[in-house]
A and B are shown apart, each in its own frame.
Chain A
Amino acid sequence: MPKEPETSLAEKTFVLEALKQNLRVDGRELHAFRDVQLIFGDDYGFVDVRLGKTRVLARISAEVTKPRSDRPFEGLFTISTELGPMASPAFEVGRPSELDHTISRILERSIRRSHALDAESLCIVTAQRVWSIRADVHFLSHDGSLLDASCIAVITALAHFRLPVVTVSGEDITIHDVEERVPVPLSILHWPICVTFSFFGDDENGETMYLLDATAQEEALRAGDMTITVNKNGEICQIAKSGGVAVEAEILMRCARLAAEKVKVIDKMIGDALREDELRRNKGNLDWLKEGRAENDR
């Protein structure tokens, strides 16, 4: 089983001592995110997110399937993540690590269970045909905050994706080609965004220090972590802190408020990037966007 190389004692002391003086190795503020870069592919629903050296790719695909018998009105939505050796030599194919489980579990809790994607809008014919949306997340490079990056990637890709138009007449279902009818965006109810805090030892005031957007090195040295998922409306979709160093409740609240602030910035950034990409694709003509919507009237 490959193992992550252990951080040397000198490195460890250096990073932790620097943190005590409110300094990070890459020169960032304690609570600053690295620059998020969003690069869209040629197709809709393909996003490459870069967060410093971390690089995550998300791809949305859709196919028509039968709905689950207990939920005949709802489309299907799955998120698949797999950490492979491409991200880091410590990850193996076919043997999911603990990080793998954590990422898929929290993404599931953040995006799927908070109903970010309106499952009922994916229905074509009740109990017979629905859209099945699949988000594939690929991790290309690992330098910390994989979860935050993959959440941004999935949400951006979902917002970027366009679903082919379907017309139903009697028994016949026609899926129109992209050339024939302009495809429509998915109906996304809110944009949940994950913010992971890394806890370190106490600072000079005896309070637990917390960092945002930790690099792989900082992640290896942290004493505990917590992921909060918030949307821009100030709703918490999910909190996960299992174990690690015990933290005062007051600090947790401070983290939650800070997360809400950061999410507003990230949310705006994603919105701007999407609009820019749309302008580039449409040469400035946005009119059709206002008409096309995936919500069908039921």
Chain B
Amino acid sequence: MEGLRNDGRRWNELRRIHCQLSTSGSSADGSAYVEQGFTKVLCTVTGPAEPGSRQRGRSDGATVVCEVYFAAFSGTDRIKRGRNDKKVQELQTAVQKTFASVILTHLLARSEIAISLHVLSQDGGTLAACINATTLALIDAGIPMADYVCACTAGQPAIGLGGGSGGGDDDEPDPYLDVNYLEESDIPSLTVATVGGGEKVAVVSMESRVRIERLEAMLAVGISGCARVREIMDKEVRRYGKEKLDGTGE
């Protein structure tokens, strides 16, 4: 098993990404379903619509609100996460703030865009999958955005994989791309999201201790992962668009 991670990937391999647009039919303005390995997220977007309460409406742009639901069966233990759970709130603010700055809100004054995310299964990189699913759902809803927001995770193992682990030397092991749950709980990891698959970083979130010298490598691997995620998402959006235009879909 020289050079392979615990699930058989090499250090720079993504897990299988499956994405789908318009999964909820007519019940929402836009919806998407994303699977990154065994992490599964369903996103629905409603809006732009009239704000639920008067206070929320802003005369200079749209307001973005986000709600995240964790299915009780999504993790290894059956845990019900309520609305006031810290993890839930953290995720909500992260998604809400990210998209508030990417959606061209000034075009949609006095309206509200509601994002609702259902995490069906967690296997590492929940925030990344949530961001990717939201991007696709917003595209499906036809909401104007600056570009795709693509997210990915990267982890820093203490010991290298050895064998064919690529360019890194022995004392500086290669960072892992797209960590799964086991790796996430074991090694320091960060989530990074870029706008448009380039070098422009919208989100960085890291909760574990890591040497400052290792940050650069982790960021670089994460960003290259984001570019690949963008390609995959773009392909699906184009395929879906073509299918719609050809009239071969619903």
Residues in chain A within 8 A of chain B (CB atoms): 1, 98, 101-102, 105, 108-109, 113-114, 223-224, 226, 230, 234-250, 252-253, 256-257, 260
Contacts and interface: CB of A to CB of B under 8 A. Distances in A.
B205 to A, nearest CB: 6
A97 to B, nearest CB: 12
B246 interface: no
B194 interface: yes
Contacts of A114: 209
A113 B208 CA distance: 8
Contact of B200 (A235, A238, A246): A246
Given A101-B93, A239-B205, A249-B199, 6 more contacts: A101-B89, A105-B89, A238-B207, A239-B190, A244-B101, A247-B200
Given A109-B207, A243-B101, A260 B199 contact: no
B97 A244 contact: yes
Contacts of A250: 199
Q: How many B residues touch the partner, as a band?
A: 35 or more
Given A236-B206, A249-B219, A252-B204, A243 B211 contact: no
Nearest to A114: B209
A257 B212 contact: yes
Question: Top 9 nearest A-B pairs by Cβ distance?
Answer: A243-B97, A246-B200, A243-B98, A242-B94, A246-B195, A239-B206, A246-B202, A242-B97, A241-B204
Contacts of B216: 253
A174 to B, nearest CB: 37
B209 A237 contact: yes
Interface in B11-67: 55
A249 B96 CA distance: 22
A34 B127 CA distance: 35
Interface in B172-205: 190, 194-195, 199-205
Contacts of B93: 98, 101-102, 242
Given A236-B209, A252-B204, A243 B199 contact: no
A114 B90 CA distance: 18
Contacts of B195: 246
A256 B204 CA distance: 12
Contacts of B55: 1
A239 B154 CA distance: 14
B101 A235 contact: no
Given A102-B93, A236-B215, A242 B205 contact: yes
Nearest to A243: B97
B199 A242 contact: no
B215 A256 contact: yes
A235 B201 contact: no
B211 A241 contact: no
Interface of B: 55, 86, 89-90, 93-94, 96-102, 190, 194-195, 199-207, 209-213, 215-216, 219-220, 223
Given A241-B203, A247-B200, A249-B220, A234 B212 contact: yes
A242 B98 CA distance: 6
B216 to A, nearest CB: 5
Given A101-B93, A102-B93, A253-B219, A242 B212 contact: no
Given A249-B220, A253-B216, A253-B219, A241 B89 contact: no
B203 A243 contact: yes
A256 B211 CA distance: 11
A286 B40 CA distance: 58
Nearest to B94: A242
Contacts of A109: 207
A230 B215 CA distance: 12
A245 B212 contact: no
B99 A243 contact: yes
A243 B94 contact: yes
A194 B206 CA distance: 14
Contacts of A243: 94, 96-102, 202-203
Contacts of B209: 114, 235-237
Contacts of A257: 212
Nearest to B98: A243
Contact of B202 (A230, A244, A253): A244
Contact of A113 (B94, B190, B201, B207): B207
Contact of B211 (A235, A238, A244): A235
Nearest to B194: A246
A226 B86 CA distance: 20
A238 B206 contact: yes
6 contacts: A105-B90, A108-B86, A241-B204, A243-B202, A246-B201, A252-B204
A249 B201 contact: yes
B198 to A, nearest CB: 9
A113 B87 CA distance: 14
Given A102-B93, A243-B100, A253-B219, A236 B204 contact: no
Contacts of B203: 241-243
A12 to B, nearest CB: 13
A252 B219 contact: yes
Nearest to A244: B101
